[in-house]
């Protein structure tokens, strides 16, 4: 079901942005692609470094008013991390993504990449621009990031997109870039975000949600002991783990857990049924799995699709390891964002499971779970979160190949194909 968030003017449109993104943006450029009078999601970009310096006000070409527009909740996240300095498309009430490439783009390069990304969404014919940055509350000074907005307005016009609004939010006020002489409006004029069924409210900013739970000392110790016991049966969970003493007594539960892995897809599926209450040995087994690249890939493919795809992914990985056979493109393609759009709720459950697993894992064994959390965040449309998990994973194990590949994807702003198909009308 698509929820309609109505906006009868600029203030109402600003009120809708935290609903469309799932958080209140900070130091960001937000683009709302429009199909006629409805939005097709939201794209959030990190504000380019140095963009907050005030510049000449943008020219004010005639543009459509947002009066009467009814922004519709995007059916799914259209996430960026692509584009000049990181982007975040988001679904209504779902969160978004972002990334920060190492090279600082010019305003023109930023605009070209941002509008190009917007143009990838089917049937888009307009957009609204909102810049969230400090300063700009003095009426005789132009708002911050004016050069960036000028470039966005020019690029949008060149690409045949009409601009509904171009607004600045910061310094306790909001202003219209195309009417720079008008006095700032207090943020108190912006109404509260409209209620959306099933949406608890926006997060404080785009970084919220990466925090790990605190499972407590007893739970972490229990999982640590279970992992050591399991390693006596299966071998070390990752290259940074010391092989346990093979002469020590093996806990029978470790053998029992190892037998469960004979049907890996069923084990992975059952973990989604209770992501916050897995037993110590089940959590230890998942830590071990996620530190085995081939098995980690099976888990990610399955969680982004179904147990049937998990069966196919496992069979393909076994054939690849045994005979060097290629993994079928429809299976391998999921890891690079190709294929049917995943169920966002299913990915969200898997991400909840990952956060708990990371919190329970010994530090030397956190690399695999952190890499999995980064991929799930990217797949769900939260590249900002993906970047944070990648930082942590690379701090644990700088040699982890999967995190290096995913870092290149995030930094280059590559988005899953399903993000744009999900935004189709």
Q: Assess whether pLDDT exceeds 80 at residue 415.
A: yes
Are the C-beta atoms of residues 389 and 315 closer than 8 Å to each other? no
Q: How many domains does the chain have?
A: 2
Residues ≥6 apart with Cβ < 8 Å to 410: 81, 99, 374, 378, 383, 386, 387, 390
Task: For residues 281 and 192, give the distance between their C-alpha atoms in angstroms, rounded to a whole number.
Answer: 46
> Do 112 and 227 have their domain in common?
no
> Has residue 211 been placed in a domain?
no
The pLDDT value given to residue 138? 56
Write the pLDDT tens digit of every residue in 320-371: 999 999 999 999 999 999 999 999 999 999 999 999 999 999 999 999 999 9
> Do 183 and 230 have their domain in common?
no
> Do 182 and 258 have their domain in common?
no
Residues 198-222 have a mean pLDDT of: 90
Rounded to 10°, the helix 307-323/293-303 angle is 160
> Do 268 and 154 have their domain in common?
no
> Has residue 5 been placed in a domain?
no
> Has residue 363 been placed in a domain?
yes
Instruction: Give the residue carrying structure tokens 């683009």.
Output: 31
Q: Which range marks the domain in which residue 246 is found?
A: 217-422
Where is the domain boundary, 171, 189, 207? 189
> Do 58 and 121 have their domain in common?
yes
> Do 265 and 395 have their domain in common?
yes
Sign of CA dihedral 118, 122, 128, 133: negative
Backbone phi and psi for residue 331, each to the nearest 5 degrees, phi listed first: -85, -55
> Do 170 and 244 have their domain in common?
no
Element (H, E) at 128: strand 126-132
Write the pLDDT tens digit of every residue in 62-105: 232 232 333 332 322 233 433 333 344 343 333 333 434 346 78
> Has residue 3 been placed in a domain?
no
> Has residue 134 been placed in a domain?
yes
> Has residue 205 been placed in a domain?
no
Backbone phi and psi for residue 128, each to the nearest 5 degrees, phi listed first: -115, 145
By DSSP bridging, strand 162-170 and strand 173-176 are antiparallel
Q: Assess whether pLDDT exceeds 90 at residue 33.
A: yes
Task: For residues 15 and 202, give the distance between their C-alpha atoms in angstroms, rounded to a whole number.
Answer: 11
Residue 139: count of CB within 10 angstroms of its CB: 12
> Has residue 381 been placed in a domain?
yes
Residues 111-125 have a mean pLDDT of: 91
> Do 225 and 87 have their domain in common?
no
Residue among 15, 13, 30 nearest 67 (CA): 13
Q: Mean pLDDT score of the chain, rounded to an integer?
A: 84
Q: Over 141-175, what HEC string results?
A: CCCCCHHHHHHHHHHHHHCCCEEEEEEEEECCEEE
> Do 408 and 272 have their domain in common?
yes
> Do 240 and 93 have their domain in common?
no
> Do 129 and 230 have their domain in common?
no
> Do 19 and 95 have their domain in common?
yes
**Quick check: pTM over 0.85?**
no
> Has residue 27 been placed in a domain?
yes
Task: For residues 152 and 169, give the distance between their C-alpha atoms in angstroms, rounded to a whole number.
Answer: 17
Question: pLDDT band at residue 182, thresholds of 50, 70 and 90?
Answer: confident
Q: Find the range with the poorest average confidence among 65-69, 181-185, 284-288, 413-417.
A: 65-69
């Amino acid at each position: 079901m698509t929820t309609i968030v109505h906006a009868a003017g600029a203030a109402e449109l600003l009120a809708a942005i935290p609903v469309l993104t799932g958080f209140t943006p900070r130091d960001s450029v937000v683009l709302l692609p429009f199909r006629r009078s409805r939005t097709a999601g939201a794209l959030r970009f990190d504000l380019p470094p140095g963009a907050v310096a005030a510049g000449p006000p943008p020219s004010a070409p005639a543009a459509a008013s947002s009066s009467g527009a009814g922004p519709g909740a995007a059916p799914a996240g259209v996430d960026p991390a692509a584009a000049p300095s990181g982007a975040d498309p988001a679904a209504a009430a779902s969160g978004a993504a972002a990334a920060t490439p190492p090279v600082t783009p010019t305003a023109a390069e930023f605009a070209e990449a941002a509008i190009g990304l917007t143009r990838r969404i089917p049937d888009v014919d307009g957009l609204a621009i909102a810049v969230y940055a400090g300063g700009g509350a003095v009426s005789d000074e132009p708002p911050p990031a004016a050069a960036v907005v000028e470039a966005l307005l020019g690029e949008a016009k060149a690409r045949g997109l009409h601009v509904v609004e171009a607004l600045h939010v910061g310094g306790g006020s909001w202003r219209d870039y195309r009417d720079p002489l008008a006095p700032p409006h207090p943020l108190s004029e912006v109404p509260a975000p409209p209620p959306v069924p099933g949406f608890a409210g926006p997060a404080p900013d785009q970084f919220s949600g990466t925090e790990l739970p605190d499972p407590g000392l007893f739970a972490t110790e229990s999982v640590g002991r279970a992992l050591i016991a399991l390693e006596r049966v299966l071998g070390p969970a990752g290259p940074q783990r010391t092989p346990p003493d093979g002469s020590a007594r093996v806990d029978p539960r470790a053998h029992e857990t190892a037998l469960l892995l004979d049907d890996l897809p069923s084990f992975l599926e059952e973990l989604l049924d209770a992501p916050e209450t897995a037993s110590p040995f089940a959590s230890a087994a998942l830590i071990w799995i996620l530190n085995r690249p081939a098995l980690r890939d099976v888990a990610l493919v399955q969680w982004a699709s179904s147990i049937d795809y998990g069966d196919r992914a496992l069979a393909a990985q076994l054939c690849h390891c045994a005979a060097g056979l290629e993994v079928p493109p429809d299976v391998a393609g999921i890891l690079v964002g190709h294929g049917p759009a995943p169920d966002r709720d299913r990915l969200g459950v898997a991400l909840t499971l990952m956060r708990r697993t990371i919190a329970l894992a010994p530090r030397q064994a956190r690399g695999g779970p952190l890499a999995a959390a980064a991929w799930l965040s990217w797949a769900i449309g939260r590249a900002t979160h993906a970047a944070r998990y990648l930082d942590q994973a690379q701090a644990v194990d700088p040699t982890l190949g999967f995190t290096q590949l995913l870092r290149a994807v995030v930094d280059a702003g590559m988005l899953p194909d399903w993000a744009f198909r999900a935004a189709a009308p």
